[in-house]
Structure 1
């Protein structure tokens, strides 16, 4: 106690004010809003998929059915989410949400067929590979950390196919990549 210096306390108060200011500039988490965003993105994904398959659906060659699945996540508890089943002749492909609030993404959906599974993740449009999703940073505990410009900007979230390997590159979801994934998981 004898070594107390008012200057140390003044520095401490300044650091706390800077940290408070930085934390207030970051968007506050709202579980209900996040869940609604996720469910909206799932519905939009299924709409896109039906669009990719539209010519086959109109000809009666492909059937798409929307169902529901029950998911449980720490931030929201139990909720119901849409799922899709695609029937192409004797083959069935399921499009199943895995969850949201996953590391580095706003959610993941698996496209599962008799020959395997393809994974879609809702990730930052600027992210091209898994290596870009991890960053190591050494922070000086005596100085408040200021969020970078990239951290303050709201990313554009897009669906991309992700591979099992860290060295893989992500592939944007579009009609061609989706049809290719269905072929792969169906052993077509």
Structure 2
């Protein structure tokens, strides 16, 4: 490497703005708020059945540990109905491709709920190719995601997302109890 190359290397890196420090406590609190929002929706949808005595649920503390955030407590929601028991359990917020995930597990399987961008319809993989150290094309500007809960749909050779709403929630619930 010549002196000129070295100077170009230094100048190239000197012009980059330093990355913003991540506030891990803020990340955790935001995640806990999203969990609360999720459970509020589920409780609202189950309320008519709980009031009739057909459904019961309770929250039990669960400890999660995530790198940089540390160990923290969340609630898992245990739902009982028609002789069935299902659990809604937060998995974490530091996951690839999502802001967080909650799993619904029952006797016949598991359904995943994720925080994804409102406009997202499924997993998206971007590949960048560079030749001689220069990108082949300029990367797209990334917009700030508008996080919202979605249901993960697993189809042969495809993973897509559906809106998290009352009808889709009950479809997922019936899927895992084989109703």
Q: Do both proteins adopt the same fold according to a TM-score greater than 0.5, normalized to the shorter chain?
A: yes
Any stretches of 5+ residues in structure 2 without a counterpart? none
Which of these residues, 64, 76, 79, is aligned with residue 57 of structure 2? Answer: 64
- Decide whether aligned partners of structure 1 residues 146 and 70 sit closer, same or farther in structure 2, where only a CA change above 3 A counts: farther
Q: Distance in 2 between matches of 1:28 and 1:16?
A: 18
In terms of fraction of residues, the more helix-rich structure is 1
* RMSD after superposition: 2.4
Normalised by the size of structure 1, how large is the TM-score? 0.82
Whether 2:135 is the aligned partner of 1:149: answer no
Any stretches of 5+ residues in structure 1 without a counterpart? none
- Structure 1 residue 43, shift from structure 2 partner: 1.1
The residue number in structure 1 matching 2:10 is 13
How many residue pairs match? The answer is: 177
Q: Structure 1 runs of 4+ off > 6 angstroms?
A: 144-147
Which of these residues, 30, 46, 49, is aligned with residue 37 of structure 1? Answer: 30
- Decide whether aligned partners of structure 1 residues 75 and 141 sit closer, same or farther in structure 2, where only a CA change above 3 A counts: farther
Q: Distance in 2 between matches of 1:139 and 1:35?
A: 36
- Decide whether aligned partners of structure 1 residues 69 and 5 sit closer, same or farther in structure 2, where only a CA change above 3 A counts: closer
Contact 2:25 2:69 in 1 (8 A): yes
Contact 1:43 1:82 in 2 (8 A): no
Whether 2:109 is the aligned partner of 1:116: answer yes
Normalised by the size of structure 2, how large is the TM-score? 0.86
- Decide whether aligned partners of structure 1 residues 137 and 4 sit closer, same or farther in structure 2, where only a CA change above 3 A counts: closer
41-50 or 8-17, which deviates more: 8-17
**Which of 1 and 2 has higher RCO (CA within 8 Å, sep 6+)?**
1
- Decide whether aligned partners of structure 1 residues 17 and 141 sit closer, same or farther in structure 2, where only a CA change above 3 A counts: farther
- Structure 1 residue 44, shift from structure 2 partner: 1.0
The residue number in structure 2 matching 1:99 is 92
* SS of residue paired to 1:71: strand
Whether 2:170 is the aligned partner of 1:162: answer no
- Decide whether aligned partners of structure 1 residues 139 and 75 sit closer, same or farther in structure 2, where only a CA change above 3 A counts: farther
What are the Cα deviations for residues 120-158 of structure 1, in whole angstroms up to 9, with x where unaligned? 11112222112x1x21112467569987422xx320111
In terms of fraction of residues, the more strand-rich structure is 2
